[in-house]
Amino acid sequence: MSKENTEVLYGLYDDEVDLLKAVKTAKDDHLDIMDVYSPFPVHGLDPLLGLSESRLHIAGFIYGAIGTLTAFLFMTWVFTRDWPIIFGGKPYFSAPAFIPITFELTVLFSAVGMVVTFYIICGLGPGVVNPTLDDRITDDKFCIAFDTSDADEGAVEKLKSFLSNSGASEVNTKMI
């Protein structure tokens, strides 16, 4: 999905077991897979594709920490500096009473921040139109795609034979 007018050679597999085997073979043969598409998350795929662990949780922690500080410091500022009021004879800085809101804002900042980050780094969002290779990829087909824009004919043939030999039920080319 990176650049326009990419020529993509892709194979469709009927089962995730076949897909995993094929990806493993491709890895052993040092073939450069552009992407793998599936209708649901296939476990065991990430290490084969060399995908490093998602760092979303780190982002989530940072957003959460910002939420914690925002809530706690803001309430402290309001009640000790900006407009001190005594409630029920308690001190101005009554930390235990700040905890519920601090907790809620921690969760809110973390969740909203992470979700927004997720959509931005995946390039997804309202109104985004991503080209799809095949309508059945979100149904029951598992797809391995190669970028063949700059590949010569021999290389393309090699990829095609890899796809059909590794159990792909269909092999197609598409410009996206």
Q: Which of residues 101-140 bind another protein (CB under 8 A)?
A: 101, 103-105, 107-108, 110-112, 114-115, 118-119, 121-130, 132, 135-140
**Residue type at 112?**
V
Considering only CA atoms, give the Rg of the chain. Answer: 25
174 near another protein, judged by CB under 8 A: no
Binding mask 28-47 for another protein (x = CB under 8 A): -------xxxxxxxxxxxx-
Task: Say what the alpha-carbon torsion angle 162, 167, 170, 172 is, to the nearest 10 degrees.
Answer: -20
Place of tokens 């809620």: 104
**Nearest distance, CB of residue 149 and another protein, angstroms:** 18
CB 108 within 8 A of CB 63: no
* Binding map of another protein across residues 48-87, x = CB under 8 A, - = no contact: -x-x-xx-xx--x---x---------xx--xx--xx-x-x
- Rounded to whole angstroms, the Cα distance separating 148 from 128 reads 24
- For another protein, give the closer residue by CB, 5 or 129: 129
